[in-house]
Chains A and B, each alone.
Chain A
Amino acid sequence: MTDSKYFTTTKKGEIFELKAELNSDKKEKKKEAVKKVIASMTVGKDVSALFPDVVNCMQTDNLELKKLVYLYLMNYAKSQPDMAIMAVNTFVKDCEDPNPLIRALAVRTMGCIRVDKITEYLCEPLRKCLKDEDPYVRKTAAVCVAKLHDINAQLVEDQGFLDTLKDLISDSNPMVVANAVAALSEIAESHPNSNLLDLNPQSINKLLTALNECTEWGQIFILDCLANYTPRDDRESQSICERVTPRLSHANSAVVLSAVKVLMKFMEMLPKDLDYYGTLLKKLAPPLVTLLSAEPELQYVALRNINLIVQKRPEILKHEMKVFFVKYNDPIYVKLEKLDIMIRLASQANIAQVLAELKEYATEVDVDFVRKAVRAIGRCAIKVEQSAERCVSTLLDLIQTKVNYVVQEAIVVIKDIFRKYPNKYESVIATLCENLDSLDEPEARAAMIWIVGEYAERIDNADELLESFLEGFHDESTQVQLQLLTAIVKLFLKKPTETQELVQQVLSLATQDSDNPDLRDRGYIYWRLLSTDPVAAKEVVLAEKPLISEETDLIEPTLLEELICHIGTLASVYHKPPSAFVEGSRGVQHKRIPIRSGSGESSESQDTGGAPGATEAPAAIIPSQGDLLGDLLNLDLTPPTSTAGAPPGPPMPMGGMDLLGGGLDSLMGDESEPYSPQMPRGADTPQSLRFSHSSPSSPDYSPTELAPGPALQLGGDIGGSPSMGSGFGAPAAVMPSSLNAPVGGGLGDLFDLGGGVGMPMGTFVPPKTLWLPAMKGKGLEIMGTFARRAGVIQMEMTLTNKAMSVMTDFAIQFNRNSFGLAPAGPLQVPTPLSPNQTIDVSLPLNNGGPVMKMEPLNNLQVAVKNNIDVFYFSCQYPISMLFVEDGKMDRQVFLATWKDIPNENEAQFQINDCHLNSDAASNKLQGSNVFTIAKRTVEGQDMLYQSMKLTNGICVLTELRVQTGSPTYTVSLKCRAAEVSQCVFQCYEAALKN
């Protein structure tokens, strides 16, 4: 006899009958009746009318019956809140039952009844159950706190249940600990700022102990909670990793994925040179591989996560290509995900295997899968250059199969291969052209047309081919129409004589007979270009195109990091942050991988082999004192004949310089805020005047030689913008084009002084500091700073003669330094420098000098000679002086480079007390040649992606995070030469705070 008979009664007076049965004296009949009620409920009939009668059956000694009544209550209590009160008494009584099963059942059910009035009565029994002697009851009560919190958060807080729940983390029973952790995590999730899960090394230790002893589900709760913890240091991080690692061999895939999440996150904190780090990396591969033998849905989740892991740490699975080979009976969603990962893992080492597989897939029956396989071959060609030829020949083989969709897909990817390797594989065009007629999909048609247009000069009958498409022009999709228009214009520019008619035809089709504004506009542009200036048209239409980059589908680094923190969850499956699909999660903090503290310093110890340029010299061998002196004493007083590296600034007529020097020099003076509009201050003026007058009078130097230094200095001093100097005297042509500062002239900038928003501002020039005190310099005092003006690094010094005698014959030399800084000309001091006289001089520098790594990196040892003696001092230049004007990276290049640079090279810093918004910050930084490439705003947090290039070609990539309203910025820095990170960070701080 089965329960299904309860579903069968469908008479009219059913409810009444049931009512009678429920009130029957016979226990057996009662039970049967309740079962019938539940059966009706299950099939969706409304049996809420029986509420009082069913509740009357609650007081029973039959466990099965009790459970059924409870079930009924859970379903209908909400619709009958007043009557639900009737049940409270039994609940309270059951919570004190000698049988723990009943106590737990009562507390569990009570929590599921979302009626306010009942909730109040729940508190006392719950309090008792949380302290119950039986762990089964305690674990159930722990979850009940989360339920209650969901109904009435205030009540839970007022009743102190949260503290009791926290105490349960120390419970002796692992299941209770696990449920308490789960409940706390659940509550914390809806109250992100509650600081509920205040994890510390002690509580973590308790969790890790419970981890080994609880059920698979409990392990997941604990692991997911652990993943939110940020270890204090790398030792703690390592010890947690060590204790979590055994979970990787659990049979439950979800446990494995949660363990992987913890490890992926904490691994970030470990020093990379640690043996354990390597061991851990090796340990991660086998469990990930094992996940692929789970049920298909779990495989799918695993594969989506592996896709993230492969992007974050390609080294883990680089040798595991084979496990991602597709099985014939895999569901399509698994097949497609595997293909994706195969492409990500493809490298020169395994490409042969991969291609053989892909070729096999391309002959399968599932059209979508076949298409993706063909596409994958193309992506391999673009990714692994060495394999391009093999890929192309594989694609040609596939085209020979003449399977329509295979051919079309192959043509689409061959177009991409042409875009990556232009002029390399045109021999295949003939084969492609043979299949022209079979192309019926717009994408394939457009691709083919593009190829014909691009290589029109090598296809004899290109005009015929394109003309054949033209016949049905209006039936084509927009994509094809646009492509056809461009291709015919290209053809015309390449073979003008035979194709004039064709081009006129397509232009008139596009401009006169089309309703599509895009098409019309493009048509008009071509028409005008061709009729106005065919040469210009050629330059525009046949311009050299940038190559496409291999990985266009990479996940942005920040998002990737966040997703790694969500391994195993829906976010990791969707590859979207939870805020994108969970209601009410706005404002929830985005999870981040903790960055190893002090990684700035630690990277210093890394091998410098990978760092180009900066550290070519053997690492930081400080030459013995003798060498140093020898170098410095060997002063070369003749001006260098050739100045390698940055050319000196534009020569300027003396007059202009004089004028400026007279008054405006002091406008900015030594102020650290060069942009505040100040009036000339009288006190400073005489000094500057003296200098201006004295320079022309010096007979030793020709004006042109003299010009670069002071003239530029003056220009810079006025506006702080490199363009200013040229605005006054120099021809506009020397303006660095990347600085789109106004050309108008010096005064133009004055209007811009206040806000500065929207305009790039000039380089930040640190205030002059005392380099050589008079005591050490036998009366010569040198104050100095560095500036970058119009692309030239300037060393700006104020020399004061505090001795009693006149000083003459100044010269300067640098010791070898990290970036090969060297004077680009002799030190131009208008001598003699009489006692008590002060002059400002500016020395242009270049990067042609000998290179040696210094400690700190930006240290510069200088020797200055005069008629009295040689003086040595060292100073530090802000590394921003070395940021060149063309340091702006292409977005794609940025993304690829970011991924390419190993994570060990990433450093993170905080800048406090900065009150700019992200646009102002971006502008300020741009003045220092830090270029913002992209900006993303997520949840009120602006993320600026910036790049800069040093004079020696080192690129630094940064991500600047600005939380609206928060004065703390976070800078994440990636550079192949990790040593520069600290210096770059200092520049950020200096530039942003001034």
Chain B
Amino acid sequence: MSASAVFILDLKGKVLICRNYMGNTDMNQIDHFMPLLMKKEEDGEITPIITHGNTHFLWIKHSNLYLVATTRKNANAALVYSFLYKITQVFKEYFKELEEESIRDNFVTVYELMDEVMDFGFPQTTDSKILQEYITQQGHKLEVGAPRPPATVTNAVSWRSEGIKYRKNEVFMDVIESVNLL
């Protein structure tokens, strides 16, 4: 349906960390990604989708990282890009910065998060607020207060922890205006 695997690459195209979601994908295909990207860049025909044989690479770039999702099916491309942007958001909220260094420094958490945010190519919970309730950086003893999935994970409103009360009900809105001038 969507991604078969997600890779995080450094600028040279070396895999920093990856997760094979479908289990049946050839993880070596990623080696073709960087050469193809370079070639496209040279020809001035860069596109967010790169094809190699039957494998399609959908990629985004974030600071000094490439986040690449691969698929061999007619995946929902909009979903894949949304998902890639969403997980950068999650990583950023976990590690403040998302870059080569922070991936290395937190590879255990990255694995845990990758396991949680997508299952068999289907994005699951991607809200960092909720994820932080049960995926934490410190190890936990199971007997004493091991985290359980918060009810919020499967709630109708998945982005708001339960039991939050405010004395004053108010809403703040950011109005962002962008101007395109030459």
Contact = CB atoms under 8 A, between A and B. Distances in A.
A44 B30 CA distance: 13
B77 A573 contact: yes
B120 A254 contact: no
A6 B108 CA distance: 10
Interface string B92-129: 00000000010011111101100100011111111100
Given A114-B23, A578-B74, A61 B44 contact: no
A3 B122 contact: no
A99 B141 CA distance: 13
B156 to A, nearest CB: 4
A104 interface: yes
Contacts of B54: 581-583
Interface residues of A, number: 94
Interface string A218-230: 0011001000000
A38 B108 contact: yes
Contacts of A4: 101, 104-105, 107
A564 interface: no
B142 A67 contact: no
B106 A298 contact: no
Contacts of A174: 154, 156
A258 B76 contact: yes
A443 to B, nearest CB: 18
A258 B139 contact: no
B179 to A, nearest CB: 10
B11 interface: no
A108 B120 CA distance: 9
Given A38-B108, A63-B147, A254 B79 contact: yes
A217 B1 contact: no
Interface in B47-71: 47-49, 51, 54, 56, 58, 60, 71
B122 A179 contact: yes
Contacts of A573: 49, 77
Interface stretch (A131-139, A311-319, A626-634): A131-139
A487 interface: no
A217 B126 contact: yes
Nearest to A568: B78
B144 to A, nearest CB: 10
A143 interface: yes
Interface in A357-392: 360, 366-368
Interface string A191-216: 00000000000000000000011111
Given A62-B141, A175-B154, A68 B74 contact: no
B81 A301 contact: yes
Contacts of A114: 23-24
B17 interface: yes
Contacts of B120: 111-112, 143, 146-147, 186
B34 interface: no
A368 B40 CA distance: 13
B75 A368 contact: no
Nearest to B153: A136
A136 B85 CA distance: 24
A301 B122 CA distance: 19
Contacts of B35: none
A613 interface: no
A328 B180 contact: yes
Given A101-B147, A254-B76, A300 B139 contact: no
B181 to A, nearest CB: 8
B17 A568 contact: no
A297 B81 contact: yes
B158 A258 contact: no
A594 B71 CA distance: 29
B3 to A, nearest CB: 12
B165 interface: no
B104 A3 contact: yes
What is the interface residue range for chain B against chain A? 35 or more
Nearest to B140: A63
A954 interface: no
Interface in A650-698: none
A252 B85 CA distance: 10
Contacts of A62: 139-142
Given A150-B22, A257-B78, A298-B81, A221 B122 contact: yes
A368 B44 contact: yes
Contacts of A71: 111, 115
A155 B111 CA distance: 30
A220 B79 CA distance: 8
B64 to A, nearest CB: 16
A173 B154 contact: yes
B134 A101 contact: yes
A298 B142 contact: no
A947 interface: no
A426 interface: no
A568 B60 contact: no
A332 B44 contact: yes
Nearest to A147: B120
A31 interface: yes
Given A63-B139, A368-B44, A101 B82 contact: no
Contacts of B106: 2-3
A795 to B, nearest CB: 55
A566 to B, nearest CB: 7
Contacts of B119: 108, 140, 143
B170 interface: no
B156 A104 contact: no
A182 interface: yes
Contacts of A175: 153-154, 158
A61 B143 contact: yes
B76 A224 contact: yes
Nearest to A337: B47
Interface in A934-976: none
B146 interface: yes
A334 to B, nearest CB: 9
Interface string B10-28: 0000011100101110000
A969 to B, nearest CB: 28
8 contacts: A4-B101, A101-B146, A175-B158, A189-B73, A217-B79, A333-B46, A367-B44, A572-B77
The 9 closest A-B pairs by CB, nearest first: A2-B105, A254-B78, A578-B74, A61-B142, A213-B156, A297-B48, A217-B123, A64-B139, A135-B154
Given A189-B73, A570-B74, 17 more contacts: A35-B108, A99-B142, A101-B148, A135-B154, A150-B24, A186-B120, A217-B79, A217-B124, A220-B76, A297-B48, A297-B84, A298-B78, A298-B81, A566-B74, A569-B75, A570-B75, A583-B72
